[in-house]
Structure formats: C-alpha cells, structure tokens
Structure 1
C-alpha cells in the first residue's frame, strides 16, 4: 500500500480528516460508507476500529489510526509544510493544542451523544428534552471558542486544523443558520475554508446536497 485509505461517512467528522489530507498533499483513497448500517462495510470497519467509528485511517504501511485529533497531529508530523499545526516554537502552539483538544473532547462528544438518544435506553418521552438540553449545552461550549477566536483564521492570520473543524462542525445541529447567528467570528472562519478551492468541493459534496 503506497497511500492512505480514509474510511469515512458523508457529513461526519471524517470530513475534517479528508480536508486535512488535502491540505497536507497526501495521496489517499476515500472509502465512503454508511458506517452505522449493518453489513459488510460495517463489519470491515469493526475489524479495523472496535468502536465502529469514522474517521478510520489505514496508513500506507497498513497500520490503523483512529481519533481525528491524533490523525491531525500525525499528518502534521508526516507533512511538516502542511500548516495543520503551528510549529513547536510558534507562540500559538499552546493555544492550538488547548482548543484542538477542547473541540474534540468537549464539543464533539456533545454532538454524538445527542444524535441518537435511543442508544442510552432513555424512555421515549424524555428523548426529545434530552436532545434539546445537550444541544443547548453544545452551543454554550461553542461560545467559549467564539470568545477567543481571531479572524480570518482561528489563530489570526495563521491557518490551522482548528479552522477545518469549525468549517465542518458548524453544519451539525442546530444547523448552519443558527450557528451563524450565534457565532459570527466562527462563521467567518468556516466560510473562509469553504471558499478555498482546495476544500470547496469536499464541503459541497458533504453538506450542500
């Protein structure tokens, strides 16, 4: 195997890694599957990733990586000119690491936990209130990111992978319109990514159907 293979699903967090691979200039194939649907695709995914989640990245040597932030940091090491992360000597490096981990450990789970409330065996009459409560909490979490964000990129003039997360995750519940109303700086960052010819086709394919 001479290139990466990204297993992903339409509109999911795997889109962040697809964009990162493009930014890095890495050779890769995309295998887009309905990752929650039973069948051979999910069976193969479970063999590679016991959690059955995307993104799952098969490395050129056949090893497997999961967890989007880990993949991002790997790609930054493998492709040092990619600008996915600030250099270790860059003054923005601590802020980048802080907010990257904040997004993937706080906001991202708040999205997935409320996508399918039935998985928690909640009574049907409280699933909608549960989803609303978690969605409101997620918006509070995004507020902290908005408060510290710079423009035109999250780190000011310096692009980083955080911009890719914002560009993708703003499409998730409660949706792009509500996100734009609440978070103008983050919306500007997301639009700047969406308008970049390197990324525009991928984002349109995933979110403008």
Structure 2
C-alpha cells in the first residue's frame, strides 16, 4: 500500500480529516460507508477499529490510526511543510493544542450523548428533554471557543486545524442556524473556510447548505 485510505461517512468527523489531507495534498483514497448500518462495511470497520467509528485511517504501511486529533497531529509530522499545526517553537502552539483538545475532549463527545438516549437509559418520555439539555450544554462549551477566537481564522491570519473542526461541527446538533445565531465569530470562520478553493467541494458534498 502506497497511500492512505480514509474510511469515513458523509457529514461525520471524517470530513475534518479529509480537509487536513487535502490541505497537505496527501495521496489518499476515501471509502465512504454508512458506518452505523450493519453489514460487510460495518464488520470491516469493527475489525480495524473496535469502536466502529469514523474517521479510521489505514496508513501506507497498513497500520491503523483512529481519533481525528491524533490523525491531525500525525499529518503535521508526516508533512513538515504544513501550516495547520503550529510547530513546537511557534508561540501559537500552546493555545492551538489547548483548544484542539478542548474541542475533541469536551465538545465532540456531546454529539454522541444525544444521538441515542436509549443507550444512556433515558426514558422515551424524557428523551427530547435530554437532547435539548445536551444541545444547550454544547452551545455553552462552544461559547468558550467563541470568546478567544480571532479573525479571519481561529488563530488570526493563519489557517489551523481548529478551523477544520469549526467548519464541520457547526452543521451538527443543534444545527447551522442555531450555531450562527449564538456564535457569530465562529460562524464567520466556518464561512471563510468553506470559501477556500481546496475545501469548497468537500464541504458542499457533505453539507449542501455550506
């Protein structure tokens, strides 16, 4: 194998990694699957990633990487000319790492908390109340990112991987309109990313309203 294989699903976290791979012009093949649907694709995914989640990245040597932040940091090492992860000597690196991991550890998991209330033993009568509470909490978490965001991108003039997350995750619960209303700075950043030629087709394919 001489190239990466990115296993992903439309509109999911794999889009974040696809943006990063396009930015570094990595040679890769995208395998889009309905990752939650039972069948051969799901079975293969579970063999590669016990959590059955996307993105799952098969490396050129056949090994497997999971977790979008880990993949982002790997690509920064594998393509040293990239600029979306500040170098170890860059004064913006500590802030970048802080918010990259904040988005991944605090905000990202809430998308799964509300998707399947039955998994958490939430009764059917309370499931909507539970989803609404999670959505509100998610927006409160995003508000912390809004407070420190620069312009035109999160770090200022420099495009970073944090911008990839913002551009993709604004389409997730509670939806793009709610995101734009509550988080105008982050929404502008997402718009700026969506207009970049190298990303426009990817985001339009996954989110037609981009």
TM-score class, shorter-chain normalisation, is: over 0.9
Residue-by-residue CA offset, 1:153-182 (whole Å, 9 max, x unaligned): 100111110000000000111111111111
Q: 1:47 is paired with a residue of what secondary structure?
A: helix
Q: CA deviation at 1:197?
A: 0.8
Question: Gapped runs of 5+ residues in structure 1?
Answer: none
Paired with 2:113 and 2:84, the residues of 1 have a C-alpha distance of 27
Quote the residue 2:3 is aligned against.
3
Paired with 1:82 and 1:118, the residues of 2 have a C-alpha distance of 42
Paired with 2:181 and 2:31, the residues of 1 have a C-alpha distance of 34
Aligned positions of 1:39-188 closer than 5 A: 39-188=39-188
Residue-by-residue CA offset, 1:95-135 (whole Å, 9 max, x unaligned): 00000000000000011111121222321111111111111
Q: 2:77 is paired with a residue of what secondary structure?
A: helix
Q: CA deviation at 1:16?
A: 0.1
| TM superposition outliers: structure 1 runs of 4+ over 2 Å | none
Q: CA deviation at 1:81?
A: 1.4
TM-score normalized by the length of structure 1: 0.98
Q: 2:65 is paired with a residue of what secondary structure?
A: strand
Paired with 2:10 and 2:158, the residues of 1 have a C-alpha distance of 28
Paired with 2:102 and 2:28, the residues of 1 have a C-alpha distance of 28
Paired with 1:29 and 1:84, the residues of 2 have a C-alpha distance of 21
Q: 1:77 is paired with a residue of what secondary structure?
A: helix
Residue-by-residue CA offset, 1:51-77 (whole Å, 9 max, x unaligned): 000000000000000000000000000
Paired with 2:115 and 2:165, the residues of 1 have a C-alpha distance of 18
Q: 2:150 is paired with a residue of what secondary structure?
A: coil
